[in-house]
């Protein structure tokens, strides 16, 4: 590793000597992490996690402690973030929905940067892997390959995990994806770049080298806080999303809940190590001091909370994810922002910071003011949608869910951070529900497909 770093430094020094760039707008390093919930060190939700590289990035800039996805599954979340349009506008609600049929190329974040003269480059999972539009990019990595497969046991039902005893870090496709990012950071350019690097892990299967499992010894694993009666006050629509007789029932019967938690933590640690390689390369690059870095997870993940596994729900665990911004000349190191934001803010914030025109169709709001002052006034809560007319509004103190059939949930997030007590039926909270309900979408586009949530190919 030391030899690799020396070579990277030497290469970047040479690049710096020959690089001439007339355009002084900042570069963008856009890091997406698949299925990464809020189990990262700096958010404190799970003290068992080990994410030193994500945390060192957070220490350099502004970390948002309450950031939420537009949709709690891969395809709609990414389509919304990259297009600037919410699922309720496009009708892209599920993973099988081909977003390209309703989101023209001219509307996307990548196109906005290309039109503004940026080199737009990408690798890994930025959009949902089933749907990619090559003409949005100046260059995109092809052929990252497939991950090695474990021998023997593969997990519990659809929750797939196993350590890789014979694999090295570089045997997984993440290594090649990050290599692409490192290579692009080292190239001399006349134009600023928008470089998107999308990691698949910790998406299932949680098959990573054994050493990452060893970081989280099984005998020390603690289960997430749960209550066996948690769904008793959840309305039928919420219970249907939880599917307690599916993954959770299988996990309880297997007796392997702790193994699954260990495996997810191991996959997070592997992703963190790959992010570390990318940050090391940026640090050694002549681009460091003129590059905006934004890191985001596309949604959250349940590991038994509310008798639920995976994403596919409107609760805190399924919707909250990391969001970190490092912006030269704008952010200060070591800052936490407690304002509640959603990922629709990424598109307009990036265009705002880079002097790129923000298209009129973009529904999110720039958070540049919060990057400059994390205590700045902010009156907009986060909005998450899962399927047609199912919405959750998350303010700094509350979560209000209203399902398509009219079922409701209301949680006091300060007093009840694991959302164990549904207050929606209590008349004294009618005013709070009305206050939050005004943030629900005013339009609900019909679904592109009458399909159930995708459980595997996500």
Tell me the β-bridge partners of 295: 31, 324
Active site residue 74: yes
Among 38, 69, 74, 337, the active-site one is: 74
- What is the Cα–Cα distance from 116 to 109, expressed in whole angstroms? 11
| Token representation of residue 252 | 């309880």
- Which range of residues forms the domain containing residue 127? 2-375
Residues 99 and 96: their CA atoms lie apart, in Å, by 9
Q: What angle do CA 361, 364, 366 make, to 5 degrees?
A: 115
Residue 396 lies in a domain: no
Q: What is the per-residue pLDDT for 455?
A: 47
From CA 331, how far away is CA 344, in angstroms rounded?
20
Whether residue 200 lies inside any domain: the answer is: yes
Catalytic residue check, 128: yes
Residue 386 lies in a domain: no
- b/e map 334-356, b = 16+ CB within 10 Å: ebebebbbbbbbbbbbbbbbbeb
d(C-alpha 348, C-alpha 24), whole Å: 20
Tell me, yes or no, whether 433 lies in a domain.
Answer: no
446 assigned to some structural domain: no
| 326 found inside a domain | yes
Reading the chain (458 residues) residue by residue, the pLDDT tens digits are 444 444 444 444 434 433 445 689 999 999 999 999 999 999 999 999 999 999 999 999 999 999 999 999 999 999 999 999 999 999 999 999 999 999 999 999 999 999 999 999 999 999 998 888 999 999 999 989 999 999 888 999 999 999 999 999 999 999 999 999 999 999 999 999 999 999 999 999 999 999 999 999 999 999 999 999 999 999 999 999 999 999 999 999 999 999 999 999 999 999 999 999 999 999 999 999 999 999 999 999 999 999 999 999 999 999 999 999 999 999 999 999 999 999 999 999 999 999 999 999 999 999 999 999 999 999 999 999 999 999 999 999 999 999 999 999 999 999 999 999 999 999 999 999 999 999 999 999 999 975 444 444 55
Any domain includes 55: yes
Residue 25 CA: distances (Å) to CA of 21, 281, 347, 421:
10, 20, 16, 49
pLDDT of residue 273: 98
Phi, psi dihedral angles at 193 (to 5 degrees): -120, 150
Q: Give the count of domains, the chain.
A: 1
Copy the structure tokens of residue 308. Answer: 């639920």
Reduced 3-state DSSP string for the chain = CHHHHHHHHHHHHHHHHHCCCCCCCCEEEEEEECCCCCCCHHHCCCCCCCCHHHHHHHCCCEEEEEEECCCCCHHHHHHHHHHCCCHHHHCCCCCCCCHHHCCCHHHCHHHHHHHCCCEEEEEECCCCCCCCCHHHCCEECCCCCCCCCCCCCCEECCEEECCECCCCHHHCHHHHHHHHHHHHHCCCCCCCEEEEEEECCCCCCECCEHHHHHCCCHHHCCCCCCCCCHHHHCCHHHHHHHCHHHHHHHHHHHCCHHHHHHHHHHHHHHHHHHHHHHHHHHHHCCCHHHEEEEEEECCCCEECHHHCEECCCCCHHHHECCEEEECCCCCCCCEEEEEEEEHHHHHHHHHHHCCCCCCCCCCCCCCHHHHHCCCCCCCCCEEEECCCCCEEEECCCEEEEECCCCCEEEEECCCCCCCCCCCCCCHHHHHHHHHHHCCCCCCCCCCCCCCCCCCCCC
Token pair, residue 318, equals 């399924």
Residue-wise pLDDT tens digits, 267-294: 999 999 999 999 999 999 999 999 999 9
The predicted structure's pLDDT at residue 35: 98
385 domain-assigned: no
Q: Which of 128, 216, 248, 302 is catalytic?
A: 128
Q: Which two tokens stand for residue 348?
A: 């307009």
Q: Across the strands, what pairs with 394?
A: 382, 399
The CATH number linked to 290 is: 3.40.720.10
Q: Check residue 21 and give its pLDDT.
A: 58
Residue 339 main-chain phi, psi, to 5 deg: -65, 145
**Residue 12: its pLDDT value, please?**
47
């Amino acid at each position: 590793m030391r030899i690799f770093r020396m070579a990277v430094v030497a290469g970047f020094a040479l690049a710096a000597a020959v690089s001439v760039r007339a355009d002084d707008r900042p570069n963008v390093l856009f890091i997406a992490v698949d299925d990464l919930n809020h189990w990262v060190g700096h958010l404190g939700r799970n003290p068992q996690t080990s994410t030193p590289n994500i945390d060192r990035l957070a220490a350099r800039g502004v970390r948002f402690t309450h950031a939420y996805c537009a949709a709690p599954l891969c395809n709609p979340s990414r389509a919304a973030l990259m297009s600037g349009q919410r699922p309720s506008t496009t009708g892209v609600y599920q993973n099988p929905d081909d977003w390209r049929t309703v989101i023209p190329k001219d509307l996307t974040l990548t196109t906005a940067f290309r039109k503004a003269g940026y080199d737009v480059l990408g690798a890994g999972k930025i959009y949902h892997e089933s749907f990619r539009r090559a003409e949005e990019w100046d260059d995109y990595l092809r052929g990252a390959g497939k991950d090695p497969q474990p021998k023997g046991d593969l997990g519990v039902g659809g929750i797939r995990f196993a350590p890789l005893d014979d694999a090295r870090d570089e045997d997984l496709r993440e290594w090649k994806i990050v290599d692409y990012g490192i290579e692009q950071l080292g190239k001399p350019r006349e134009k600023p770049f928008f470089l998107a690097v999308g990691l698949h892990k910790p998406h299932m299967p949680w098959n990573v080298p054994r050493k990452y499992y060893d970081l989280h010894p099984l005998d020390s694993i603690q289960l997430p806080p749960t209550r066996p009666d948690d769904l008793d006050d959840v309305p039928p629509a919420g219970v249907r999303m939880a599917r307690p007789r599916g993954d959770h029932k299988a996990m309880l019967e297997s007796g392997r809940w702790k193994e699954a938690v260990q495996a997810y933590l191991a996959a997070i640690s592997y992703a963190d190590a790959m992010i570390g390689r990318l940050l090391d390369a940026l640090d050694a690059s002549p681009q460091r001091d003129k590059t905006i870095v934004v890191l985001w997870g596309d949604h959250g993940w349940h590991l038994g909370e509310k008798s639920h596994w995976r994403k596919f729900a409107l609760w805190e665990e399924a919707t909250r994810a990391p969001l970190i911004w490092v912006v030269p000349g704008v952010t200060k190191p070591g800052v936490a922002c407690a304002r509640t934001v959603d990922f629709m803010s990424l598109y307009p914030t990036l265009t705002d910071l880079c002097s790129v025109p923000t298209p009129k169709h973009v529904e999110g709001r720039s958070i540049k003011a919060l990057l400059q002052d994390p205590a700045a006034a902010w009156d907009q809560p986060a909005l998450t949608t899962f399927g047609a007319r199912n919405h959750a509004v998350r303010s700094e103190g509350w979560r209000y869910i209203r399902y398509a059939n009219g079922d409701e949930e209301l949680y006091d997030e300060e007093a009840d951070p694991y959302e164990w007590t549904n207050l929606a039926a209590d008349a004294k909270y009618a005013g709070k529900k009305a206050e939050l309900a005004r943030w629900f979408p005013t339009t609900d586009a019909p679904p592109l497909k009458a399909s159930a949530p995708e459980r595997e190919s996500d």
